[in-house]
Structure 1
Amino acid sequence: MARVQSTDVKRSLGRRMRGAAGLAALVGLAWVARDVPAALGGRLSGARAERAARSPQFREGTFHNQAGTRTMVADPGRNLLRELIFGKQKRHPSAPVPLLRPSAPQAADTDELNIVWYGHASTLIEIEGRRVLLDPVWSERCSPSGLVGPRRLHEPPVRLDELPPLDAILISHDHYDHLDMATVRELLVGQSAPFLVPLGVGAHLDRWGVPAERIIELDWSESHQVAGLEITATAAQHFSGRGLRRDGTLWSSWVVAGARRKVFYTGDSGYFDGYAAIGAEHGPFDVTLMQIGAYDRAWPTIHMFPEEAVDAHLDLRGGLFFPVHWATFNLALHDWSEPVNRLWAEAKARDVRLAVPRPGERVVVDEPPAVDGWWQAIA
């Protein structure tokens, strides 16, 4: 009889625990559902909308590239969904991506130029004693929901609260793998740096509680001085959108210039003749941070293939080529390691200086480590 009572108690406790877990799950889902509309961001209105309408890039209610582009190109006989599900590409590493913790940050009075890549496009520029963070995304998924969407292939090598004090935070465009609500909200509390963003993206930051004095919106060719640096929004060939509406905000590349050192960051972009113009006006650059991943022949004008990224680097009059936008999120159909393998081969063929660090590794631009193929062991 005692055994029966014990079993009954266990069953009762199990039901209660399952009920509590179910309730907790429902509460979690409710919180996620509540955050999804906010994660979609804001819309242009008032003075922000009026300023957008004056932009040379804005026509008929949306922003446009300099040349006509399409986000998808018809490819007769190809089934992308079938390829996604049944394709033979190896889109994930076979072992954990090796992470490093950055060494001590540079001294405030040095002229040294360093780059720390945290994964995907999230990168720290240490330039002439100042620190500029690019496209920070620390969330588990690049999505408006914590339950669905592309999931990280490796953890961030440091926590957000372990970042050093920042002087500026740059956002290239509003896609979820470059602009993350949770990360922005944490940086809002943990840092005091302004957010420099393309036109219209400030509407998202507004909705997420970023004060107006910390939002600097720029059109292409516009510059802003911060902490002794001149930061310029430059052209890119891409698109934008966080919901069903497309191209309601601008996208850009960035030039970060100190008194002696210069850095270029592509954001997301297809290859276009704007790179040569940027190189002529703002170059040469000590280092270019170049998007190399998430390409496909189905969207050839909005993301660069690795070989095109080398073309762009040379157009820009770049010194060290530093690849970003690979290894962290699975956003295309190619093999996980294909972008960097193609890049390494092209860089060697064209005598381009290249650094391929592990996430979290600090690269001294004037003394970059030799490329050692670290990714091949897990590819």
Structure 2
Amino acid sequence: MKSLGSRAAGARLERMKASPLWAGDRFQNVHPVLPGLRDPQVKMPSFTDFLCGGEHRVPLAPLPAMDPRDTWARTPGSGLRVTWLGHSTLLLEIDGVRVLTDPVWGPRASPSRYAGPKRFQPVPVPLRKMPPIDLVLVSHDHYDHLDYPTIRELAGVDVPFVTSLGVGAHLEAWGVEARRITELDWWETHRLPGTGLSATAAPSQHFSGRGLKDRNATLWSSFVLRTDRHSVFFSGDTGLTTEYQAIRDQLGPFDLVMLEVGAFHPAWGDIHLGPKNALEALRLLGGGPFLPVHWGTFSLAMHAWDDPAETLLKLAPGMGAQLVMPRLGEAVEPAHAEDVRPWWRGVDQGAPHVAPEPAPAPEVLPKQMPWPID
């Protein structure tokens, strides 16, 4: 299956082997797992649990969404504007530079068109109608962050990519020219030619892989984007790590912090934040306007679809966190963000019950997927 991607070889592989994060045949997390993140008493969910377990995992009606294209046509007064397009896909406008993060327009977070987690909310703007993009940022190679059909379409556009070590092999296999790809190790920086923007890869506590035989064959990263006027942090996927304090010391403070809050589970609490640990990560990063991502698009764990939002709304005031929680497609400037209005609460009210999509038979599930899948 082409969507599985390609393994690194040659000079790319040699560069990966030179990384201090390379452990003989794969990358590794170097920071010890903090106590209490993973509950050893909780078993890893089975595929049956994942397909059929949990309650209220998808909304009963479409989420409210806006068309941001008229707003995008106007320059943001503060110089910094962000539009959440679903899951971890955002359009960042930073002092005249447009950056697209972890672009996923495909229907499933899966190598198959017929099985795997299905998108329950479309992207507010079709990919072909997006404005010109100056940079595509890809944090790691999981299906809900690196999407084959989306990359195939972007391969036909002359836009540069910045990503983690090894991920470029997938991009090249799908038609992106090598000259357009920059792969970074942690703490390495790429300066986008002709702009004042730099992108720095930074630590995260996660893993990688698109099949059963390529676990940790590519690197995973968070990223910091900087200009002379603004600095923003994008977590990619991660568990809680005190390395965030080092990121703050070396690359902060931040005018916008984007942290993953969904797809959490006590069996994998070391590789995903969830809302509670995201607030602690925000504190370690030194604060700043906080836009939660990695929710509202796919059901990738057993919790209710709106649990991350409700938990954040409850806990954030006690931790002094400034939440920025726009509707899908709502372009906002963090410097002028208004108080959060819980727009998600009206989604299920009065909506007719919709039976969940029947789970596919086990034999049609992809046999080459890591677990958990993100």
TM-score norm. by structure 1 comes to 0.86
Q: Structure 1 stretches of 5 or more lacking a match?
A: 1-36
Once residues 362 and 134 of structure 1 are traced to their aligned partners in structure 2, the CA distance between those partners, rounded to angstroms, is 15
| Aligned match for 2:99, one of 132, 137, 140 | 132
Amino acid at match of 2:153: E
Aligned partner of residue 279 in structure 1, secondary structure:
helix
| Aligned match for 2:241, one of 272, 279, 282 | 272
Amino acid at match of 1:283: G
| Aligned match for 1:345, one of 311, 314, 317 | 314
1:40 matched residue in structure 2: 4
CA displacement 1:280-314 (0-9 Å, x = unmatched): 11111001011000000010100002111011112
Task: Specify the structure having the higher radius of gyration (Cα).
Answer: 1
Q: Is the contact made by 1:254 and 1:266 (CA closer than 8 Å) also made in structure 2?
A: yes
Once residues 349 and 308 of structure 1 are traced to their aligned partners in structure 2, the CA distance between those partners, rounded to angstroms, is 14
Amino acid at match of 1:42: S
Aligned partner of residue 281 in structure 1, secondary structure:
helix
Once residues 86 and 314 of structure 2 are traced to their aligned partners in structure 1, the CA distance between those partners, rounded to angstroms, is 22
Overall identity of the aligned pairs, in %: 44
Q: How does 1:74-93 map to 2 (within 5 A)?
A: 74-75=40-41, 80=46, 83-84=49-50, 87-93=53-59
Assess, with a 3 A threshold, how the Cα gap between structure 1 residues 235 and 88 changes in structure 2: closer, same or farther.
closer
Q: How does 1:1-379 map to 2 (within 5 A)?
A: 37-68=1-32, 74-75=40-41, 80=46, 83-84=49-50, 87-102=53-68, 103-105=70-72, 107=74, 111-189=78-156, 191-226=157-192, 227-244=195-212, 245-379=214-348
Aligned partner of residue 376 in structure 1, secondary structure:
helix
Amino acid at match of 2:300: L
Superposed displacement of residue 89, structure 1 = 2.1
Q: Is the contact made by 1:84 and 1:333 (CA closer than 8 Å) also made in structure 2?
A: yes
Superposed displacement of residue 74, structure 1 = 4.5
Once residues 104 and 79 of structure 1 are traced to their aligned partners in structure 2, the CA distance between those partners, rounded to angstroms, is 43
Once residues 38 and 87 of structure 2 are traced to their aligned partners in structure 1, the CA distance between those partners, rounded to angstroms, is 22
The structure carrying a bigger helix percent of its residues is: 1
Assess, with a 3 A threshold, how the Cα gap between structure 1 residues 48 and 84 changes in structure 2: closer, same or farther.
closer
Q: Is the contact made by 2:54 and 2:302 (CA closer than 8 Å) also made in structure 1?
A: no
Once residues 198 and 84 of structure 1 are traced to their aligned partners in structure 2, the CA distance between those partners, rounded to angstroms, is 29
Once residues 322 and 299 of structure 1 are traced to their aligned partners in structure 2, the CA distance between those partners, rounded to angstroms, is 23
Superposed displacement of residue 75, structure 1 = 3.0
Superposed displacement of residue 111, structure 1 = 4.7
Q: Structure 2 stretches of 5 or more lacking a match?
A: 349-374
Once residues 43 and 220 of structure 2 are traced to their aligned partners in structure 1, the CA distance between those partners, rounded to angstroms, is 32
Larger relative CO (CA 8 A, sep 6+): 1 or 2? 2
Superposed displacement of residue 99, structure 1 = 1.1
TM-score norm. by structure 2 comes to 0.87
Q: Is the contact made by 1:238 and 1:268 (CA closer than 8 Å) also made in structure 2?
A: yes
Superposed displacement of residue 204, structure 1 = 0.4
Once residues 54 and 4 of structure 2 are traced to their aligned partners in structure 1, the CA distance between those partners, rounded to angstroms, is 33
Assess, with a 3 A threshold, how the Cα gap between structure 1 residues 165 and 220 changes in structure 2: closer, same or farther.
same
Once residues 363 and 73 of structure 1 are traced to their aligned partners in structure 2, the CA distance between those partners, rounded to angstroms, is 37
Once residues 220 and 262 of structure 1 are traced to their aligned partners in structure 2, the CA distance between those partners, rounded to angstroms, is 17
CA displacement 1:351-370 (0-9 Å, x = unmatched): 21111111111011111132
Aligned partner of residue 144 in structure 2, secondary structure:
coil
Q: Is the contact made by 1:110 and 1:128 (CA closer than 8 Å) also made in structure 2?
A: no
Q: Is the contact made by 1:283 and 1:318 (CA closer than 8 Å) also made in structure 2?
A: no
